[in-house]
Amino acid sequence: MLPMYQRLLEMHGLDAVALGRQAGLDLVKLPAPTERIAVDRADAILQLAITRIQDPAFGLQAARCWHPANLGVLGYAWLSSSTLRTGLRRLERYHRLIGERGVIEVDELRRGIKVRFWGKRGDPAEVPVAAVMVDIAMSLLIDMCRLNAGASLRPVAASLRRKAPASASPYERFFGCPIRFGAEENFFLLANEDADNLLPSSNKQLAGIFDKMLGAELARLDKSDVVARCRAAVLEYLTSGELSAEDTAKLLHMSPRTLQRKLAEARLTYQQLVDDTRKDLALRYIVDAGRSISDITFSLGFSQPSTFTRAFKRWTGRSPTDYRAGLAAVTAA
């Protein structure tokens, strides 16, 4: 999905290649659709963009920046779906091929089909990158449905976990329905009639072929992506304290011994993975002057600021306060 990120940034007059370089990503040599990139690096691009783009709802414009080809085989499988219901079920089944952290869930309700998105980047009401990523994901999901069913498609209802913006009009215009902010879930609801209309691009034969290809991709991913799945589990529960290796293994539906073996194959221990995850988040959070050291401490699952300070010194050689002061001095210069 990096081409979508690049077009979104360039829409706002930003040098996407330069921002990518700062985030450790080479946007000149874009990866293939099936090639996965580190989520933290993609998020780092968004973090840089947030400080430069004045429009707080800019993530919604991602709907103008994507193409089904950006999703690889999954994009073409989506286009061949017979109805939005079958397409959304297909997306739910194979969404992990798109990214290692976002989760798409589909529920059947009496009045329609409910599509939920979980970004697993922290609380969108508190973490700017999480809020923008939800905006991007929800705009893409809605636009995917409109691509197949027509631009006039409108959800019955929608909600977002992010705080209510100064103006809700960009969201209401895009979704085409009232939005409830500060909600428990990010979701939109499609009426049964819209979910079950036969789509003009329907092709069951092609869809079957694509499903076999996607199933093979998912099987390969399941074997090789334990590190990413483990990191995602650690991130999801970090604010409530550090998960034990046993707890994480249970979440991943494997034994602690199997988890240790698979991490060892990647030349990692569980504690190294937790430590690296905390370090990546700490370096991202510390640049946000609006976040206090205490807030960062507890967001990373440390029990007290002194413990976080010792860890931060081990990572960077400086205390969080000194590191932030150094950033401020560089910015001022």
Q: What is the pLDDT of residue 283?
A: 83
In a domain? residue 171: yes
* Spatial separation of the C-alpha atoms in residues 114 and 59, rounded to whole Å: 21
* Spatial separation of the C-alpha atoms in residues 245 and 271, rounded to whole Å: 8
Query: What is the 8-class DSSP label of residue 33?
Result: T
Overall average pLDDT of the 149-163 stretch: 96
Mean confidence (pLDDT) of the chain:
87
Q: What is the pLDDT of residue 42?
A: 79
- Structural contact between residues 118 and 239, judged by C-beta atoms closer than 8 angstroms: no
Residue 210's Cβ-side half-sphere holds a number of Cα atoms within 13 Å equal to 22
**Among the listed residues 163, 158, 164, the one whose alpha carbon sits nearest the alpha carbon of residue 139:** 158
Highest averaged pLDDT of the listed ranges 18-22, 35-39, 64-68, 231-235 = 64-68
* Spatial separation of the C-alpha atoms in residues 244 and 270, rounded to whole Å: 9
Overall average pLDDT of the 298-307 stretch: 89
- Structural contact between residues 187 and 159, judged by C-beta atoms closer than 8 angstroms: yes
Residue 85 corresponds to which tokens in the numbers above? Answer: 């219901």
- Structural contact between residues 58 and 8, judged by C-beta atoms closer than 8 angstroms: yes
CATH code (residue 312)? 1.10.10.60
* Spatial separation of the C-alpha atoms in residues 200 and 179, rounded to whole Å: 29
Last residue of a domain, one of 210, 236, 258: 210
**156 and 37 in a common domain:** yes
Last residue of a domain, one of 183, 210, 237: 210
Last residue of a domain, one of 143, 178, 210: 210
**83 and 22 in a common domain:** yes
**Which residues have a Cβ under 8 Å from the Cβ of 210 and sit 6 or more positions away?**
73, 74, 76, 77, 80
Helix ranges restricted to H, the chain: 2-11, 16-22, 39-50, 73-79, 84-94, 128-149, 169-175, 192-196, 204-224, 226-237, 245-251, 256-265, 270-285, 293-299, 305-316, 320-332
Q: What is the pLDDT of residue 30?
A: 57
115 vs 280, residue with greater confidence:
115
Percent of the chain with pLDDT over 90: 49
* Spatial separation of the C-alpha atoms in residues 323 and 277, rounded to whole Å: 19
- State how many domains the chain has: 2
CATH code (residue 134)? 3.90.1520
In a domain? residue 257: yes
* Residue-wise pLDDT tens digits, 55-90: 999 999 999 999 998 888 999 999 999 999 999 999
216 vs 1, residue with greater confidence:
216
Q: What is the pLDDT of residue 282?
A: 87
In a domain? residue 93: yes
25-39, 102-116, 209-223: range with lowest mean pLDDT? 25-39
Phi, psi of 191 (to 5 degrees): -65, 150
Structural domain containing residue 275: 225-332
| Stated pTM of the model | 0.68
**206 and 254 in a common domain:** no
**264 and 229 in a common domain:** yes
Q: What is the pLDDT of residue 57?
A: 95
Q: What is the pLDDT of residue 308?
A: 93
In a domain? residue 217: no
In a domain? residue 219: no
Residue 3 corresponds to which tokens in the numbers above? Answer: 């081409």
Q: What is the pLDDT of residue 267?
A: 80
Q: How confident is the model at residue 28 (pLDDT cuts 50, 70, 90)?
A: confident
* Spatial separation of the C-alpha atoms in residues 88 and 114, rounded to whole Å: 10
Amino acid in position 41: R
**142 and 274 in a common domain:** no
Q: What is the pLDDT of residue 239?
A: 73
Which residue shows structure tokens 């998020």? 43
Q: Does position 34 have pLDDT exceeding 80, yes or no?
A: no
Q: Does position 224 have pLDDT exceeding 90, yes or no?
A: no
Q: What is the pLDDT of residue 330?
A: 56
**143 and 272 in a common domain:** no
Q: Quickly list DSSP for 40-53.
A: HHHHHHHHHHHTT-
**242 and 191 in a common domain:** no
DSSP strand pairing (187-191 vs 112-118): antiparallel
**Among the listed residues 254, 255, 265, the one whose alpha carbon sits nearest the alpha carbon of residue 227:** 265
**43 and 163 in a common domain:** yes
* Spatial separation of the C-alpha atoms in residues 198 and 185, rounded to whole Å: 29
Q: What is the pLDDT of residue 31?
A: 57
In a domain? residue 220: no
**238 and 202 in a common domain:** no
Overall average pLDDT of the 146-171 stretch: 95
What are the beta bridge partners of residue 207? none
Q: What is the pLDDT of residue 116?
A: 96
**251 and 122 in a common domain:** no
Q: Does position 331 have pLDDT exceeding 60, yes or no?
A: no
Q: Does position 273 have pLDDT exceeding 60, yes or no?
A: yes
In a domain? residue 125: yes
* Spatial separation of the C-alpha atoms in residues 17 and 266, rounded to whole Å: 30
In a domain? residue 215: no
Q: Does position 29 have pLDDT exceeding 80, yes or no?
A: no
* Spatial separation of the C-alpha atoms in residues 197 and 216, rounded to whole Å: 29
**78 and 132 in a common domain:** yes
What are the beta bridge partners of residue 107? 114
**265 and 205 in a common domain:** no
